[in-house]
Amino acid sequence: MSATSRGHGATLAEKILARAGGRDSVVPGEIIEGRVDLAMMHEQGAQTVQPFHEMGATRVWDPDRVVIAIDHWVPASTEGAAVLHRILRKFADEVHLPHFYDVGNHGICHQILAENGWVVPGDLAVGTDSHTNMLGAMGAVAAGIGPTEMAAVLALGRLWLKVPTTVRINVRGKLGPGVTAKDLVLRALGEVKTTGATYKAVEWTGPTIERLSMPERLTICNMTTEMGAKCGMVAPDSKTRDYLSGIAKHSMHPVYADTDAQYERTVEIDVDGMPPMVACPYSPDNVRPLPDVAREHVRIDQAFLGSCTNARIEDLREGAAVLKGRKVHAGVRFIVSPASTAIYRQCLSEGLVDLYTDAGAVFTNSSCSACFGGNMGIIAPDEVCASSSNRNFPGRMGPKEGRIYLMSPAATVAAAIRGEIADPREYA
Amino acid sequence: MREIIEGRVWTLGRDVDTDQIISGKYLTIIDPNILKTKVLEIGLPEFASQSKPGDILVADANFGSGSSREHAPQALRAAGVGAIVADSFARIFFRNSINLGIPTIEAPGVRAIFDRFDIARIEMREGTITNVRTGGSVSFPPLPQHLIDLLEAGGLVEKVRRELANRPSSRDPVSP
């Protein structure tokens, strides 16, 4: 059955899943067995090993389609973390998985996939982290799964997927000075909410999206996870091809939504005149214009510039432009954690490590760092953190009372300077 | 898969995310028997010490949102939950929970018909959940055959084990 014989064309997700399922076309609600182009594990992959063995599997379907990238506790900060790393290293040796990004060559798993060209247009990628959605920026379906499911993927090279309906977010207008892709995705979260795309695909379209750089597209696809989405994506174009030129690990097979694709709904966003945005405790969809929050003088104890959402070199440059010639507020701990070792080295060569540390920040090695409350940068129960990360649920940075405000890198730095939430445009 | 599941109910609100089920500070623990002592520490602190095997969780919308951590359903399975029922689930939690063989049922409106410690009766084939105390009930669409098969097998591990064992051309040795 051709796409047109159903009376309408296919969305980007439907096109990709049709290919993965070996079909001419698919319809939402249908269950397919999708062939996996790339499987990624971080520390949670340690829980893949036992079910893999219990399944009776001895070989991985294609070791060149599997990446292991440890990131949550790097280097290991507890005995438990060391054991997880040890299990993964032994497993990689046992079943011959060569693509292991270990300590010294490490980074946040999604950034490792992006900057090494592991996911290309048209791919079906799965990873043991919920923010695997980020790789949808390559024009792929990229989704998070759990470690038992990953064991089945390693054994079989495929998994069942229900073809999702697609929510389109169509964006027009020009982001103003000091207003970023992070502000756009926060604004979208304020409208779609944390359950607005549950089980669904999110497809970003429109002239504003076409103008976004690849790092910006990574940021907006990353936080489709917070909308509940199975995957979030941007159609591939010349920017995608340029980004992947020379680094793509396998051949591209780009597909595009039909012009008559049927979306479950379309959310229209016009960013002309949009101010910076902030997600207030305790939900990423509790979004307000940042200037309104700044007027309430929300004092902070910690600022965190890091995470898979916003710790690429472009983000750290954006923060540095705000911080240059200024100091971190005396009452604030400012933690900067680049998204990969490659970015860390780039910061060194551009003088950004000096710039941040001269201003009073601590510049850490690459890891998930303070984002998830299990390693470093934990806050006390009555403390407040301004963060460039993606979640502010109760307990996300440790104690359930801790208050996290999500914002752009520029706004995170502005808060670090003023000691309270501040409009980054005042530091232009 | 049991056709009829009956158990004492623990109720939960909406948006109980995986951080509230198993906090980030416990993610280096992979022993389910230790995880179960930490389960719902933020979302329902008395559950870990007071729950009994066979108890049923009844949550409002968006249960299990947030991270992909399988620690969350692992801990609930180790605690012996008989089923997890919610107005709606976050997708990775739903998959993880089904993959572990836990009856995981989405039934819009279910939270509103239960109070804590009511008895729930779930009829899997008919697709109904009844409050034994009040007689109130809601229906749910029966699970797709694919997921029934998963639960019948006892979870994804056993399902894939059978598949690998039955591969005629497979050279994989099969574990006993």
Residues A58 and A156 in one domain: yes
Contact A156 B160 (CB under 8 A): yes
Q: Which residue carries 């739903």 as its tokens?
A: B94
* Closest CB to A198 among B27, B66, B90: B90
- Confidence grade of residue A6 (pLDDT, cut at 50, 70, 90): low
Contact A228 B62 (CB under 8 A): yes
pLDDT at A49: 98
- Confidence grade of residue A7 (pLDDT, cut at 50, 70, 90): low
pLDDT at B1: 76
The CATH number covering residue A319 comes to 3.30.499.10
Of the three residues A237, A268, A299, the one that is the final residue of a domain is A268
Candidates A162, A198, A223, A227: best to mutate against B (most CBs of B within 10 A) is: A198
Q: What is the pTM of this model?
A: 0.94
- Do the domain assignments include residue A4? no
Residues A255 and A292 in one domain: no
Residues A221 and A77 in one domain: yes
Contact B100 A148 (CB under 8 A): yes
| Domain hosting residue A166, numbered range | 9-268
Given a cut of 70, whether residue A3 has pLDDT beyond it is no
Beta-bridged to residue A66, according to DSSP, are: A39
B73: chain A residues, CB-CB within 8 Å: 146
Given a cut of 90, whether residue A411 has pLDDT beyond it is yes
Of the three residues A217, A240, A268, the one that is the final residue of a domain is A268
* Closest CB to B96 among A146, A198, A393: A146
Q: Where are the alpha helices (DSSP H) in B14-168?
A: 18-21, 32-35, 47-50, 71-78, 91-99, 145-153, 156-165
Given a cut of 80, whether residue B169 has pLDDT beyond it is no
Residues A97 and A212 in one domain: yes
Residues A247 and A334 in one domain: no
Residues A77 and A210 in one domain: yes
pLDDT at A160: 92
Residues A211 and A315 in one domain: no
Of the three residues A247, A268, A289, the one that is the final residue of a domain is A268
B173: chain A residues, CB-CB within 8 Å: 56, 58
Structure token pair of residue A105:
């060559």
Contact B160 A31 (CB under 8 A): no
- CA-based nearest residue to A44, from A321, A368, A386: A368
Our count of domains for chain A comes to: 2
pLDDT digits (tens, 9 = 90+) for A305-332: 999 999 999 999 999 999 999 999 999 9
Given a cut of 60, whether residue B173 has pLDDT beyond it is no
Interatomic CA distance for residues A238 and A254, integer angstroms? 11
- Do the domain assignments include residue A384? yes
What residue in B sits closest to A51 (Cα-Cα)?
B157
**Averaged over A345-362, what is the pLDDT?**
98
What percentage of chain B has pLDDT greater than the value 90?
Answer: 82
Residues A184 and A298 in one domain: no
A148: chain B residues, CB-CB within 8 Å: 70, 96, 99-100, 155-157
Cβ–Cβ under 8 Å, residues A371 and A245? no
pLDDT at A5: 45
B160: chain A residues, CB-CB within 8 Å: 55, 57, 151-152, 155-156
Where are chain B's structural domains? 4-142
Average pLDDT, chain B: 92
Contact A395 B69 (CB under 8 A): no
Residues A222 and A282 in one domain: no
pLDDT at B176: 40
* Closest CB to B95 among A72, A78, A145: A145
Residue B49, C-beta contacts closer than 8 angstroms, at least 6 positions apart: none
- Do the domain assignments include residue A3? no
Contact A80 B29 (CB under 8 A): yes
**Averaged over A32-44, what is the pLDDT?**
97
pLDDT at A4: 40
Contact B91 A55 (CB under 8 A): no
Residues A221 and A348 in one domain: no
pLDDT digits (tens, 9 = 90+) for A75-124: 999 999 999 999 999 999 999 999 999 999 999 999 999 999 999 999 99
At A288 the three-state DSSP class reads: strand
From A230's Cα to the closest Cα of chain B, the distance in A is 7
Contact A148 B157 (CB under 8 A): yes
pLDDT digits (tens, 9 = 90+) for A381-392: 999 999 999 999
Residues A72 and A121 in one domain: yes
**Averaged over A161-181, what is the pLDDT?**
97
Contact A396 B62 (CB under 8 A): no
| Superfamily the domain B4-142 falls into | Aconitase, domain 4 (3.20.19.10)
- CA-based nearest residue to B45, from B21, B64, B73, B13: B21
In this predicted complex, what is the ipTM? 0.90
Lowest mean pLDDT among A139-153, A296-310, A398-412, B16-30: B16-30
pLDDT at B174: 44
Residues A188 and A138 in one domain: yes
pLDDT digits (tens, 9 = 90+) for B105-157: 999 999 999 999 999 999 998 999 999 999 999 999 988 888 999 999 999 99
A75: chain B residues, CB-CB within 8 Å: none
